[in-house]
Structure 1
Amino acid sequence: MTTLPTRSVPGAFPALVLALTLPSTALAEFRPMDDGAMSSVTGQAGVTIELETRVNMDRLTWTDEGSINVNGLRLSGHNDTTLDNMKLTIDIAGQNEVLDYGFSEIARRADTGVLDLAANADIADALTTYDTGAGFGKQFNSGDLVIHLGATDYGDPTSLNDYLQAVDFELAVDSITATGSEGSATLFSNVLLQGYVGPTDIVIRNGGNATRTLANGNTVSGSELQLDTHFEITNGSLDWDAADLLLIFNFAAVGIEGLQIHNRRGNDTLGHFGMASATAKLSRGTGSVSGQDGLSVHDVEFRADIDMPVFRIGQASIGSVQFTDFAITDTTLMVYGH
């Protein structure tokens, strides 16, 4: 009769269950593993997902006293093709582990000489930003969940343009309407946005039960979801039928054609490769004034240049409109029910 080891080791119970189902001759080949041996076989590689999709939604409705409806939503590749060539890498970081983040692939190519540092100031900046000394990317803490969206195939490794346009998308919405006791109104209609998705990162920071206090006094959890994305709108159009912007400007009966959102002008282009960028952090929070617990959206930042070559009011165009170095910063939201 074979005697099973009685020393408790991490993961020993599942191994014991498996062992009891095996013939004794096979069991004789099993040996207990100490903590060091167990750590050497812990999964380190993460998961990679190659993704292709097309999303269609007839109606999305949020109902309170009235309702808001998003009608005829579609997400696809350009010209209603499949949204493809996307690769998600998912990792749970070890302490100080360096994982792909942002434009780290550009830094990696620059380091090997595939991309010319002198050709574009952004390339040299990427090498400085993403070279950690222990790899290219960003250093994380133990237990951080890191999701990085890139491309399955970046095309010619010497072509920066191939890299930036590897993942194309198209977002279409027939209309966005509001319905209440007074009837219904169309807020936006004929929305069509075409562009490219740059590197996008979603990180769930493992902050345990720690908290921190924001500049406005709100208390937020140290465990938070962090979003960092780059993108470009190359061609967009919409009808702004009845809506206010920042509760100041009423854009009723406005039409926009040829919309472009990028970051190629002004003083804050470095490090963005001509793409607009957005970052935000989300966590549990408590408002310093209201005392309410809710969802805190903080450290919000958006940077872009915006071009509207055709800006119509009614049927007549009033010319073109451009924003340079458009930035939303120092923005915090506390969201809770009432």
Structure 2
Amino acid sequence: MKGLKPTMLALCVAGVPPAAMAEIQRLDDSTMGNITGQAGVTIELETRLNIDRFIYTDEGSMEINDIFVGGANRTDMFAEMNLNLNGVASSNLDNIRINIDLANDGDAIINLLPITFHAVDLRVATGAWNLVGTGGSTTILDNFQMDMLIGSGTIRIDTATDKLNFKTDIAIDDMDFDVPFLALGIQDFEMTGADYDLSAPQPLRLFAGVEMDIYKAPNSQNVESLAVDLQAFNADIRIGGVIVGGTSIGSLALDNLAITNTSMLIYGH
């Protein structure tokens, strides 16, 4: 009612016939509580993120330089499939629809889905990761770049268990990075679903499924800590080149990698 002055509002009410006024009833709190949107909220997202430097400081510091999060700006992800899996090439992180719903038991459900019939392409890149202190500095990671596809994602906060359950389907087309202080480099790292086999007759399992629970739990000192349980992770991993001292020593492959019964507690000291 912005702009509707009290005098005008009074005239409008005064002009309502008495019979109509008899039908106007005050809504109690219970009735008002039932007047809610029943279809949830949908957000369509397009973004790109650049950070010059992220610094975590304890007694010394760790710096991550030149952070980029956006689209892969490619249409040749997993080129061996001869398909355009992510639609239009863009340096923006896009084609994302986020559906937010509250279930009748109070659970919060957030679903991340593509807007169009394509996967979401994501590129994460950084410059040098430096450890910095009074004794000098060491570059532990550099030239990091990862191009990946996201099929879907779901976050559910369960009011009965006070746990956050996270599920996603991802596939890494290419990841490269250097570890300068070890004279080590990784090139053409690829991660897909288990049994990703171009010669197999069944549909290709492009996406690796990841599921985890995140909640609070006591540590060994009975102090509440951040708990993370990895419920499921199955994948095939291939590394095109392992570089040591500037020379490739070959490639690696992990077929049907399964990580199970994994949990951790995170807390300060």
Q: What is the TM-score normalised by the length of structure 2?
A: 0.79
CA distance in 2, matches of 1:301, 1:180: 38
State the shift of 1:300 in Å. 4.5
Residue 128 of structure 2 aligns with an amino acid whose one-letter code is S
> Which string of whole-angstrom CA distances, capped at 9 and with x for unpartnered residues, describes residues 19-63 of structure 1?
999725375442356899767643210000000000111111110
Q: Does 1:324 align with 2:255?
A: yes
In 2 relative to 1, CA 68–203 (structure 1 residues): closer, same or farther, beyond 3 Å? same
Residue 326 of structure 1 aligns with an amino acid whose one-letter code is L
Q: Secondary structure at the match of 1:294?
A: strand
In 2 relative to 1, CA 180–302 (structure 1 residues): closer, same or farther, beyond 3 Å? farther
Corresponding position of 1:158: none
State the shift of 1:146 in Å. 0.4
Q: Secondary structure at the match of 1:153?
A: coil
State the shift of 1:229 in Å. 0.9
Corresponding position of 1:112: none
State the shift of 1:301 in Å. 3.5
Residue 315 of structure 1 aligns with an amino acid whose one-letter code is G
Query: Please, which of 191, 200, 211 is the counterpart of residue 279 of structure 1?
Result: 211
Corresponding position of 1:75: 69
Residue 238 of structure 1 aligns with an amino acid whose one-letter code is F
CA distance in 1, matches of 2:260, 2:166: 15
CA distance in 2, matches of 1:320, 1:185: 27
State the shift of 1:307 in Å. 0.7
CA distance in 2, matches of 1:271, 1:293: 44
Q: Does 1:234 align with 2:197?
A: no
Larger relative strand fraction: 2
Corresponding position of 2:183: 253
Q: Does 1:87 align with 2:97?
A: yes
Query: Please, which of 223, 243, 251 is the counterpart of residue 292 of structure 1?
Result: 223
Corresponding position of 1:121: none
Q: Does 1:153 align with 2:153?
A: no
Q: Secondary structure at the match of 1:23?
A: helix
Residue 165 of structure 2 aligns with an amino acid whose one-letter code is Q
**Structure 1 unaligned regions, length at least 5:** 1-18, 95-141, 155-161, 208-221, 243-251
State the shift of 1:325 in Å. 1.9
CA distance in 2, matches of 1:85, 1:275: 18
Corresponding position of 1:183: 136
State the shift of 1:333 in Å. 1.6
In 2 relative to 1, CA 329–237 (structure 1 residues): closer, same or farther, beyond 3 Å? same
- Tell me, yes or no, if the aligned pair for 1:256 and 1:312 is still in contact at 8 Å: yes
CA distance in 2, matches of 1:91, 1:280: 20
State the shift of 1:145 in Å. 0.4
CA distance in 2, matches of 1:277, 1:74: 25
**Structure 2 unaligned regions, length at least 5:** 1-8, 74-89
- Tell me, yes or no, if the aligned pair for 1:254 and 1:312 is still in contact at 8 Å: yes
CA distance in 2, matches of 1:34, 1:311: 69
CA distance in 1, matches of 2:142, 2:36: 52
> Which string of whole-angstrom CA distances, capped at 9 and with x for unpartnered residues, describes residues 141-190 of structure 1?
x1110000001111xxxxxxx4xxx2111110112111123211111110
CA distance in 2, matches of 1:308, 1:255: 11
Q: Secondary structure at the match of 1:143?
A: coil
- Tell me, yes or no, if the aligned pair for 1:230 and 1:272 is still in contact at 8 Å: no
Identity of aligned residues (%): 33
Alignment of 1:79-228 (within 5 A): 79=73, 81-94=91-104, 142-154=105-117, 162=118, 166-207=119-160, 222-228=161-167
Q: What is the TM-score normalised by the length of structure 1?
A: 0.63
In 2 relative to 1, CA 42–312 (structure 1 residues): closer, same or farther, beyond 3 Å? same
Q: Secondary structure at the match of 1:309?
A: strand
CA distance in 2, matches of 1:176, 1:28: 71
CA distance in 1, matches of 2:248, 2:102: 52
In 2 relative to 1, CA 40–272 (structure 1 residues): closer, same or farther, beyond 3 Å? farther
CA distance in 1, matches of 2:152, 2:204: 10
